[in-house]
Amino acid sequence: MVAKKDGNRISDVKTAGSGRGVTLKELADAVGLTPGTLSVVLNNTHRASTIPEETKERIFKAAKDLNYRPNYFARSLRANRSFTIGVIAAELSDGYCAMILNGIESGSTEQGYFYLNTSHLHREDLLKHNSQMLIQRQVEGIITIDTPIRFECDLPIVSIAGHEEIEGVTNVILNHQTAAEIGIEHLYSLGHRKIAVIKGQDFSSDTKIRWETIVQAARDRGIGIDEKLVVELEGINPSPEVGYVAARKLLANKRDFTAIFAFNDISAIGAIRALQEAGLRVPEDVSVLGFDDIYIAPYFQPSLTTIRQPLFEMGKLSAQTLLRNLSKIENKEEIPKIEMVEPELIVRNSTAKVNNSKS
């Protein structure tokens, strides 16, 4: 059925091929507007803000009622663009990566873009192969998540958790100095001086800077980090098991500690399990501080005190930045090198005042 405007109403008339949706021109005829106006609204371009809300609602309702499906292939041919971006992640797992991908999807779809995502599982051969596959599929730019730029690419890149200054790359990063300060200060204010640290794997982009800022924040408060109270996550398994194993190593060192500052929430959750199995209570005997604030953090038992990275917002910002950079490059404008976001301390039930009998 095709709807045609009849006064202020839309009346249905039959068309040949009754199973198909209408074209953009047929939809425009139905609502009495130009195809260009409909394109602006349906693709949510920057000009959409100039269209009255009543008109936009009428367009969206007609598109739904008449089963309008945009022909992205034809749109791409007309514009000589793919309207697609590529995303390369270290691994696609729950938590950190999933929250960022949700943000990327939000930021790209609001501009009428689609995204293709892949992971390299920390294998350089797979990173090289997958990046080239995305380029061959004519993505207009690439977003990397916790991934070193070790592949050839002439496209604009936005690197989430990227810490290298590379021409043509914008790094979206957390203010790690602030993150370390608020984390250490929280534990310090609760009386903790014997703080164990679970470092990230050596392949993680954030491991080095997070460790360095934690050490500095502790030193500024007169706390020395005992090397026997430092363990590093091992392996690529993105589950709490790596934190569980790390915490068991801490316990095996037979050094007293009253708190653990974990590399991320996943490892913090694993560490809590190891502590509980060893007969220690969290937070009564040992406080545990995580990092990220993933979806499960408030619902774990005990609920996890953590340093929140605005992961969804970082993903959305990265997509918005990449699409802005495409426009800047076309206009021969300089693209930003860094987009920094701020952390937040989220206090829940896994941290408490130090147990004086253990301090």
Query: Residue range 65-78: average pLDDT?
Result: 64
Q: Would you say residue 140 has pLDDT above 80?
A: yes
Q: Tell me the one-letter amino acid at 211.
A: W
- Whether the CB-CB separation of 228 and 253 falls below 8 Å is answered with yes
Are 131 and 124 in contact by the 8 Å Cβ rule? The answer is no
Q: What angle do CA 350, 178, 98 make, to 5 degrees?
A: 65
Tens digits of residue pLDDT in 265-284 = 999 999 999 999 999 999 99
Q: Which two tokens stand for residue 194?
A: 């014997």
> Which domains are assigned to the chain?
2-70 (1.10.260), 83-174+311-342 (3.40.50.2300), 176-309 (3.40.50.2300)
Contacts of 32 (CB under 8 A, 6+ apart): 5
**Band of residue 23 on the pLDDT scale cut at 50, 70, 90:** confident
Residue 82: pLDDT above 90? no
Tokens of 314: 């970082």
Percent of the chain residues past pLDDT 90, beyond the cut: 67
Please identify which residue in the block is written with the tokens 């340093």.
Answer: 307
